[in-house]
Structure formats: C-alpha cells, structure tokens
Amino acid sequence: MSRILQNYSFPSGQRIQLKQGDITEEKVDAIVNAANRYLQHGGGVAGAIVRRGGIQIQEESDTWVSAHGPVPHNEPAYTGAGKLPCRFVIHAVGPIWGEGEENQKLAAAISGSLVVAEGLGLTSIAFPAISTGIFGFPKERAAKIILTTFQEYFKQHPGSSLKLICVTLIDPPTITAFQHIWYDLFHS
C-alpha cells in the first residue's frame, strides 16, 4: 500500500501526488514503465512490472516493437496491464545520462506519456522516476524536469481527462530528491 507524502491541487481541479510505495500496486488507470527503446523488460521498474503483471506484458511489448519499431522518447508505447491493478502500462523511454539532450528527452517522455493517457481517455496515472535508475540521470535534476512537465501540461490542458498524476517512488534517496524539488515548486 502506498503512502501519500505530498499532494497539490491545481486551480482547474487536477492533482499531483508524491507517494512512497510500489508502483505495481497502484490502483490507477495506467502506470508508466521506465522502458528501453526495444521494450525488453529485464530489470528495474520494467522487470518488476512484468514479474507482477505477467509475461503477456512482455509479449504485447514485443508485438508493439515488431509493428512500430523502437520506441522514441516522445511517443511512448502502451500495452495491457496483465494481472496489475491498472488497465494499461505506458512504456516511456527516458534518456541514458551522457547521451546528449537528456533534459529535452526526459521532458518528451513525460509529456508523451500524458498525451498517450489523454488519448486513451484515462483519469489517473502513476509515474516512476524515469531514467534515474540504471540510466543514471541525476535524481534532483530528473525530479525538476518531471514535476515541471506536469505543471506545464496542466497549464496548457486545464480541461484534460487526467485528474490525478501520482509519482510513486520506492527508495528513500529518490523520495528525498523529489521532496526537495516539490517544496521549491509547490510551496513557494
């Protein structure tokens, strides 16, 4: 069971929550997977999603890549959620630290995920800290980009079908990094 650490409501009624917990247990319309371009879900968040949700998530991912090719940063893929308590998994490809244009690529992965969710008519979505694990993106820098991208999206789309965005994190160092940025963005 996840625990809400922070909650912010926009004037338009949409909310962002920072939570401590396991993203694979989130009861939202979709969770976002921190994926690689070929949707091979071996380790990290991706591995946990397939272990909990079932092999059909990997099978649907393989079918997606066969049909569409490698997944770009700005156009995430999506699959069913198997045995997970959500309906969809949106597979966002964040940048690997050091490959160049990391900030823009991370923002594109986040906003692309929101566009996919909106296209599916979803009302709630949960994100991990994309690219901050094995891809090596600095946690506070990623937190600022991710949270700022959410702010901008809701400013530009006040009538969005999305009513709740959760950032669900499991490890204390990442939670601490997001809390620092959260305070700067939402408590000033």
Q: Could you state, in chain order, the average pLDDT of each consecutive group of 10 residues for the chain (188 residues)?
A: 93 94 97 96 92 97 98 98 98 96 98 97 98 95 98 93 97 96 87
Listed in sequence order, the residues at least 6 apart from 97 whose beta carbon sits closer than 8 Å to its beta carbon are 131, 135, 136, 137, 138
Give the model's pLDDT for residue 188: 55
Report the pLDDT value the prediction gives residue 59, as an integer from 0 to 100: 97
**Looking at this protein, which amino acid is placed at residue 37?**
R
CA dist., res. 73 & res. 89, Å (int)? 16
Overall CATH class of domain 3-186: alpha beta
For residue 47 the two structure tokens come to: 């591995």
Residue 137 Cα to chain centre, angstroms: 14
Q: Which of 145, 140, 152 is nearest to 179 (CA)?
A: 140
Predicted local confidence at residue 44, as pLDDT: 87
- CB 170: neighbour CB atoms within 10 A? 17
Half-sphere exposure of 149 (CA within 13 A, CB side): 25
Sign, CA dihedral 27-28-30-34, equals: negative
- Residue 19: its H or E element: strand 15-20
**Domain spans of the chain, in order of start:** 3-186
Which residue type, as a one-letter code, is found at position 92?
A
